[in-house]
Amino acid sequence: MIKKDSLWFITLFSLILVLSVYYITMPQNNRFAMDDIDCNTIECIIENSTSQEMIESNDTTVIEVLKIQHTNEINDRLNELRSVIADENTTVAEKNNAYNVIKEIERVNNEELRLVGIIEEEFGYQAIVKILTNEIEVVVGSDIHSVELANEIMNVIKAEFGGNVYVSVDFKY
């Protein structure tokens, strides 16, 4: 069992690590650009800087941003479930249910990563894959919106799942 203290330590350490990596990868000339903005809250800072400015200043692609957001969503959900498991007040049934959901999230995440690898290997494009119940959403990092490429990606993914899923392909760059 994970104890509350170790869970807090892991959570805070992860947060510090993410912020450190973000600070290190930020360009030197933009590190203190927020000093001239008269904001004291995060909401105000977000309103004064668009996501496109943040993407351009960090030289990241939309796919990388989407991957980070998806990973953060998964990690947040896993942390919630792990806190349920670590909580002494939850019942055994709730802990078992949380454990089963964690295993399912990890299985789906591994399947998403496998599909991303197939797309990158066969087609040479960065991609992000989200698997929902019987729907798979694929976002391909390409400025060319090709119907033929989308159909090929759909066919490859449907072949992996036996054709029993709905696949949507979107192009972003």
Give Cα separations from 137 to 23, 39, 60, 111, 117 (angstroms): 31, 37, 21, 13, 15
For residue 4, what pLDDT is reported? 77
Return all residues near 168 (Cβ < 8 A) that are at least 6 apart: 135, 136, 137, 138
For residue 123, being part of any structural domain is answered with: no
Q: Which amino acid is at 36?
A: D
DSSP β-ladder status, 166-172 and 127-131: unpaired
For residue 37, what pLDDT is reported? 44
For residue 3, being part of any structural domain is answered with: yes
DSSP β-ladder status, 135-141 and 166-172: parallel
Residue found under tokens 């927020």: 34
For residue 124, being part of any structural domain is answered with: no
Range of the domain at 36: 1-60
Please state, in angstroms and rounded to a whole number, the distance separating the CA atoms of residues 102 and 56: 35
Closest listed residue to residue 144, CA positions, set 111, 114, 169: 169
For residue 19, being part of any structural domain is answered with: yes
What are the tokens at 159?
């072949």
By the 8 A CB rule, do 122 and 156 touch? Answer: yes
Please state, in angstroms and rounded to a whole number, the distance separating the CA atoms of residues 112 and 114: 5
For residue 33, being part of any structural domain is answered with: yes
For residue 120, what pLDDT is reported? 92
Domain total for the chain? 1
For residue 95, being part of any structural domain is answered with: no
**For the chain, which ranges sit under pLDDT 50?**
30-57
What is the sign, positive or negative, of the torsion defined by CA atoms of 18, 19, 20, 25?
positive
pLDDT tens digits, residue range 120-156?
999 998 999 999 888 999 999 888 888 999 999 999 9
Give Cα separations from 72 to 1, 35, 138 (angstroms): 23, 27, 18
For residue 142, what pLDDT is reported? 84
For residue 30, what pLDDT is reported? 47
For residue 34, being part of any structural domain is answered with: yes
For residue 56, being part of any structural domain is answered with: yes
